[in-house]
């Protein structure tokens, strides 16, 4: 079994749950599903491609993630009570575009004719109440990329789906700060592989022309000029608009949910070596999946965020310069892997790269949980729209074969382990970003369909116990250490951490931004302190009790915490409060909570807390 000292987040979560609850929470009945954001801390995923991308593995982030997940499950366990679940479905309009529409067109016309859109608009929600009808929580699934915040953003941010969740929880948890009330609203991901929220579509930022073409390329400047934005005037506004619409629709579906979900619970899990699954194409022919590899168009990025090396999407032939550079640095890909991935030109043959650790996973989790007539399909990656439709349909048909006629199947994306994208076989031929990132080759989707049908059959025929566990993933103990050193924080001469460098103004109007700059310290220090709650508060003076009441923390949409790194351990922390129209007039202040790293000669480094308070300022309504 996995030792608690290995750096694999799911097994660490499961081990910690096991030591507390025995066999209650297990491999088969716990799914870890990312709501997905591009604006979070990195460095916790053990395969080399991701470790390189995050400039080394961060034990700090890893511990914080695992501890946080376990804590949330413990809280849910403690608050568990009998209740009812209601299911509802409905379309969400005006928040998505397909970001690879030309790939979608490669799917057979007869198949496309069955759908009115090249994205899935349906949201599924589960409303949970106790036996007295008191609200407990919501889980919803919807297919959209959380990239309303673009890749210039450096704030930790949960993007459009996180904003929907924030609005829902704020409404249900009146009087609580974000993240602290009892009600939980989860906005989970689905088959979002080719779905962008940047609904004004791709345009050349230099000329304004549309670049909605097969290679997302501009006449002048190529793919780095082709960017999709909107619908807002900046990324914050877009996040609020898209997240707001998703929230509104979830709220309507929640209010009108009346179909109770009843019936037994079942769960099935398997580990599968995706590098070599035999896929039955029909009764006479088979095909194989491949060892992982990324194609050229992976490096191109997408209209939601281009790559830095000026690659172009839709590339089906390699380039001698890059091929030679790769061969020199990493060795040549085998003929076998090249053949297997065709027509993908391989940029990185990750499945053949094992130093210092495998670059990509071979062993992945396939998992399904059913709650009465709902089947939750846990996908270890990002399915495109049509991939999701095919899988859902196949799973539903499999259940029907065994007498379960009315199953609703939902794709729960980005679960357990990350394996990039999964396109249909036809979309794969076009080799845009999603196809180049389909790492197990052209038959990846067919393999998953086969595997998930087997899970559905096992659940439907009550033979889950007969499923093989599959090969256990490898566990690595030594990973590339973080290349970002821990350095001692320093305050300018004669100053202390938290000293105010730029004070608040005496007064602000609503709609303005209150800003204070403090002598800062690296915020990552605070992640080593498990009691750290927030980097900032906005507090209002209550004259009647002569106390300061916290009105916002760092999870509030109205606040921003920027950290500016200087030389030799010097840094500034800027705290902003974007004063909303709903703010009460009165006297306010802002506080900063940090930790600095200190090291005295010949002694081990220590992390020390500090806090600081701005001067009081007035907010007036007009
Ligand atoms: C990782 O972090 C945990 C918790 O802070 C600590 O106990 C452990 O020693 C760290 N492991 C390594 C290898 O640094
Ligand atoms: C983009 O595709 C068009 C055809 O659709 C082709 O003519 C053009 O050369 C391609 N551009 C690049 C940079 O690959
Ligand atoms: C990127 O490639 C395009 C052609 O696809 C070219 O027009 C452009 O100048 C290149 N940009 C850079 C920075 O090399
Ligand atoms: C990101 O959004 C900001 C507006 O918030 C905009 O100025 C910038 O050009 C965008 N950048 C990219 C690469 O999309
Ligand atoms: C987006 O910005 C516009 C223009 O400033 C504003 O009218 C609108 O209220 C903003 N939308 C949201 C959801 O904040
Ligand atoms: C997965 O299968 C491939 C091909 O059969 C094999 O080379 C590889 O060692 C397997 N991976 C693991 C982790 O067992
Ligand atoms: C992949 O599996 C097939 C059939 O199961 C087997 O014949 C083949 O040797 C395997 N390939 C590798 C590289 O393990
Ligand atoms: C089975 O699939 C193969 C490969 O796609 C195809 O050549 C063959 O005609 C198919 N056979 C039948 C009976 O459909
Ligand atoms: C399936 O659902 C439909 C509509 O909700 C219902 O009329 C039908 O009786 C159900 N069939 C079974 C076998 O439960
Ligand atoms: C499942 O396993 C049980 C016990 O080992 C065995 O009796 C039964 O025949 C198996 N069922 C199937 C469908 O393989
Ligand atoms: C910190 O703020 C001071 C005063 O505003 C400024 O002089 C200095 O350049 C800032 N340093 C950084 C790293 O932003």
pLDDT at 56 over 50: yes
pTM: 0.95
Nearest-5° Cα angle at 267, 264 to 273: 160
CA of 281 to the centre of ligand 6 (A): 22
CA of 413 to the centre of ligand 9 (A): 27
pLDDT at 506 over 90: yes
| Chain segment 310-322, per-residue pLDDT in tens | 999 999 999 999 9
Task: Specify the range with the lowest mean pLDDT, choosing from 109-123, 246-260, 307-321, 335-349.
Answer: 307-321
- Whose CA is closest to 576, among 507, 491, 498, 512? 512
Directed axis angle between helix 444-460 and helix 385-401, to 10°?
Answer: 30
Cα gap 569→592, rounded to integer Å: 18
Contact 189, 143 (CB under 8 A): yes
> Is 187 strand, coil or helix?
strand
Is the minimum distance from the CB of 222 to ligand 3 under 6 angstroms? yes
Contact 188, 33 (CB under 8 A): yes
3-state helix, strand, coil in the chain (%, to 5): 25, 25, 45
| Chain segment 393-444, per-residue pLDDT in tens | 999 999 999 999 999 999 999 999 999 999 999 999 999 999 999 999 999 9
Residue 522 contacts by C-beta under 8 Å, 6 or more apart in sequence? 487, 489, 563, 565, 571, 596, 597
Q: DSSP string of 296-308?
A: GGGGGEETTEE-T
Give 5's pLDDT tier (boundaries 50, 70, 90).
low
> Is 390 strand, coil or helix?
helix
- Mean pLDDT, rounded, for 568-578: 97
Ligand 5 pocket, CB under 6 A = 232-233, 237, 240-241, 244
> Is 536 strand, coil or helix?
strand
| Chain segment 341-373, per-residue pLDDT in tens | 999 999 999 999 999 999 999 999 999 999 999
Query: Rounded mean pLDDT of the chain?
Result: 96
Identify the nearest ligand to the CA of 457 by its number.
10
Give 7's pLDDT tier (boundaries 50, 70, 90).
confident
> Given 158, 196, 216, 437, which residue is catalytic?
196
Q: Return the pLDDT at 1.
A: 40
- Whose CA is closest to 430, among 577, 543, 314, 554? 314
Is the minimum distance from the CB of 507 to ligand 8 under 6 angstroms? no
Residue 353 contacts by C-beta under 8 Å, 6 or more apart in sequence? 48, 330, 331, 359
Q: Is 260 annotated as a binding residue?
A: no
Ligand 9 pocket, CB under 6 A = 405-406
Identify the nearest ligand to the CA of 306 by its number.
4
Give, as one character, the DSSP assignment of residue 169: H
- For residue 471, the number of C-alpha atoms closer than 13 Å in the C-beta half-sphere is 13
- Whose CA is closest to 39, among 167, 154, 131, 143? 154
Token representation of residue 140: 């919803």
Q: Is 421 annotated as a binding residue?
A: yes
Residue 72 contacts by C-beta under 8 Å, 6 or more apart in sequence? none
CA of 539 to the centre of ligand 11 (A): 25
Q: Return the pLDDT at 481.
A: 85
Token representation of residue 312: 């172009």
Is the minimum distance from the CB of 429 to ligand 1 under 6 angstroms? no
Contact 45, 414 (CB under 8 A): no
Nearest CA to ligand 3 atom 7: 221
Is the minimum distance from the CB of 281 to ligand 8 under 6 angstroms? yes
Directed axis angle between helix 9-21 and helix 59-78, to 10°?
Answer: 40
> Which residue is it, tokens 């909107």?
230
CA of 438 to the centre of ligand 6 (A): 18
Cα gap 438→202, rounded to integer Å: 23
Cα gap 356→51, rounded to integer Å: 11
pLDDT at 270 over 70: yes
Identify the nearest ligand to the CA of 467 by its number.
10
Ligand 5 atom nearest residue 240's Cα: 13
Identify the nearest ligand to the CA of 425 by its number.
8
Nearest CA to ligand 8 atom 8: 285
pLDDT at 3 over 50: no
Is the minimum distance from the CB of 466 to ligand 10 under 6 angstroms? yes
Nearest CA to ligand 3 atom 5: 222
> Which residue is it, tokens 């609703």?
408
Give, as one character, the DSSP assignment of residue 177: P
Is the minimum distance from the CB of 67 to ligand 1 under 6 angstroms? no
- Mean pLDDT, rounded, for 71-92: 97
- Mean pLDDT, rounded, for 504-530: 95
Nearest CA to ligand 4 atom 7: 234
Token representation of residue 150: 């673009």
CA of 361 to the centre of ligand 6 (A): 10
> Which residue is it, tokens 């209550």?
542
CA of 238 to the centre of ligand 4 (A): 11
Provide the pairing of β-strand 278-280 with 286-288. Answer: antiparallel
Q: Return the pLDDT at 364.
A: 98
Identify the nearest ligand to the CA of 528 by its number.
1
Active site residue 196: yes
Cα gap 388→238, rounded to integer Å: 26
Provide the pairing of β-strand 536-542 with 547-553. Answer: antiparallel
Within 10 Å of residue 373's Cβ, how many Cβ atoms? 17
| Chain segment 131-177, per-residue pLDDT in tens | 999 999 999 999 999 999 999 999 999 999 999 999 999 999 999 99
Q: Return the pLDDT at 238.
A: 98
Share of residues in the chain with pLDDT > 90 (%): 94
Is the minimum distance from the CB of 278 to ligand 7 under 6 angstroms? yes
Give 25's pLDDT tier (boundaries 50, 70, 90).
very high
Peptide linkage before 231 cis (omega within 30 of 0): yes
Give 482's pLDDT tier (boundaries 50, 70, 90).
confident
Q: Return the pLDDT at 4.
A: 45
CA of 148 to the centre of ligand 9 (A): 39
Q: Return the pLDDT at 478.
A: 77
Give, as one character, the DSSP assignment of residue 124: E
Q: Return the pLDDT at 622.
A: 76
Nearest CA to ligand 7 atom 12: 276
Cα gap 609→607, rounded to integer Å: 7
> Is 143 strand, coil or helix?
coil
Is the minimum distance from the CB of 192 to ligand 4 under 6 angstroms? no
Q: Return the pLDDT at 2.
A: 42
Contact 197, 95 (CB under 8 A): yes
Contact 98, 105 (CB under 8 A): no
Token representation of residue 360: 């990509």
Cα gap 192→413, rounded to integer Å: 8
Ligand 3 atom nearest residue 312's Cα: 5
Ligand 1 atom nearest residue 528's Cα: 5
Directed axis angle between helix 235-255 and helix 159-172, to 10°?
Answer: 50
Q: Return the pLDDT at 479.
A: 82
| Chain segment 605-617, per-residue pLDDT in tens | 999 999 999 999 9
- Whose CA is closest to 331, among 305, 359, 297? 359
Is the minimum distance from the CB of 276 to ligand 7 under 6 angstroms? yes
Residue 350 contacts by C-beta under 8 Å, 6 or more apart in sequence? 48, 49, 292, 293, 294, 358, 359, 360, 439
Provide the pairing of β-strand 586-598 with 606-613. Answer: antiparallel
Cα gap 369→366, rounded to integer Å: 11
CA of 350 to the centre of ligand 2 (A): 28
């Amino acid at each position: 079994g996995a030792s608690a000292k290995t750096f694999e987040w799911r097994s660490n979560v499961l081990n910690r749950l096991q030591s507390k609850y025995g066999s209650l929470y297990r491999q088969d009945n716990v799914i870890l599903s990312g709501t997905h954001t591009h604006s979070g801390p990195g460095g916790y995923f053990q395969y080399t491609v991701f470790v390189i991308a995050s400039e080394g593995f961060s034990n700090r982030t890893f511990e914080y993630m695992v501890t946080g997940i376990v804590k949330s499950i413990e809280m849910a366990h403690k608050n568990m009570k009998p209740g009812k679940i209601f299911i509802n479905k409905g379309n969400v309009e005006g928040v998505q575009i397909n970001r690879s529409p030309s790939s979608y067109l490669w799917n057979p016309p007869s198949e496309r004719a069955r759908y009115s859109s090249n994205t899935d608009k349906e949201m599924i929600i589960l409303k949970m109440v106790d036996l007295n009808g008191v609200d407990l929580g919501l889980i919803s699934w919807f297919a959209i990329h959380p990239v309303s915040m673009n890749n210039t953003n450096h704030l930790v941010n949960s993007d459009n789906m996180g904003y929907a969740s924030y609005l829902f929880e704020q409404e249900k948890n009146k009087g609580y700060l974000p993240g602290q009330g009892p009600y939980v609203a989860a906005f989970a991901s689905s088959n979002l592989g080719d779905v962008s929220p940047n609904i004004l579509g791709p345009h050349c930022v230099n000329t304004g022309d549309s670049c909605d073409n097969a290679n997302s390329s501009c006449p002048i400047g190529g793919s780095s000029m082709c960017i999709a934005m909107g619908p807002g005037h900046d990324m914050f506004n877009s996040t609020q608009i898209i997240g707001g619409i998703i929230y509104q629709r979830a709220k309507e579906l929640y209010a009108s949910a009346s179909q109770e979900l009843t019936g037994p619970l079942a769960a099935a899990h398997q580990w599968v070596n995706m590098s070599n699954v035999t896929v039955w194409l029909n009764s006479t022919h088979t095909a194989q999946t491949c060892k992982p590899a990324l194609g050229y168009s992976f490096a191109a990025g997408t209209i939601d965020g281009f790559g830095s090396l000026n690659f172009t999407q839709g590339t089906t032939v390699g380039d001698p310069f890059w091929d030679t550079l790769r061969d020199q640095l990493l060795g040549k890909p085998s003929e076998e892997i090249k053949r297997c991935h065709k027509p993908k030109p391989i940029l990185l043959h990750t499945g053949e790269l094992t130093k210092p650790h495998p670059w990509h996973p071979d062993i992945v989790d396939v998992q399904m949980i059913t709650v009465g007539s709902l089947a939750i399909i846990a996908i270890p990656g990002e399915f495109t729209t049509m991939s999701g439709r095919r899988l859902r349909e196949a799973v539903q048909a499999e259940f029907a074969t065994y007498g379960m006629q009315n199953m609703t199947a939902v794709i729960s994306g980005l679960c357990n382990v990350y394996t990039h994208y999964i396109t249909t076989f036809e979309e794969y031929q076009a080799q845009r970003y999603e196809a180049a990132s389909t790492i197990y080759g052209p038959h990846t989707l067919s393999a998953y369909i086969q595997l998930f049908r087997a899970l559905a059959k096992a659940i439907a025929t009550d033979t889950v116990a007969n499923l093989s566990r599959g090969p256990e993933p490898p566990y690595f103990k030594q990973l590339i250490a973080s290349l970002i050193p821990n350095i001692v924080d320093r305050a300018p001469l004669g100053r202390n951490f938290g000293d105010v460098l730029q004070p608040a103004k005496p007064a602000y109007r609503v709609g303005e931004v209150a800003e204070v700059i403090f002598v800062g310290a690296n915020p990552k220090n605070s992640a080593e302190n498990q009691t750290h709650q927030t980097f900032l508060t906005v507090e209002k003076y209550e004259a009647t009790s002569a106390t300061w009441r916290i009105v916002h923390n760092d999870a509030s949409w109205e606040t921003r915490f920027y950290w500016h790194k200087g030389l030799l351990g010097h840094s500034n922390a800027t705290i902003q409060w974007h004063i909303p129209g709903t703010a009460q007039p009165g006297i306010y202040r802002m506080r900063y909570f940090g930790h600095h790293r200190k090291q005295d000669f010949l002694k081990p480094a220590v992390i020390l807390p500090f806090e600081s308070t701005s001067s009081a300022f007035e907010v007036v309504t007009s």
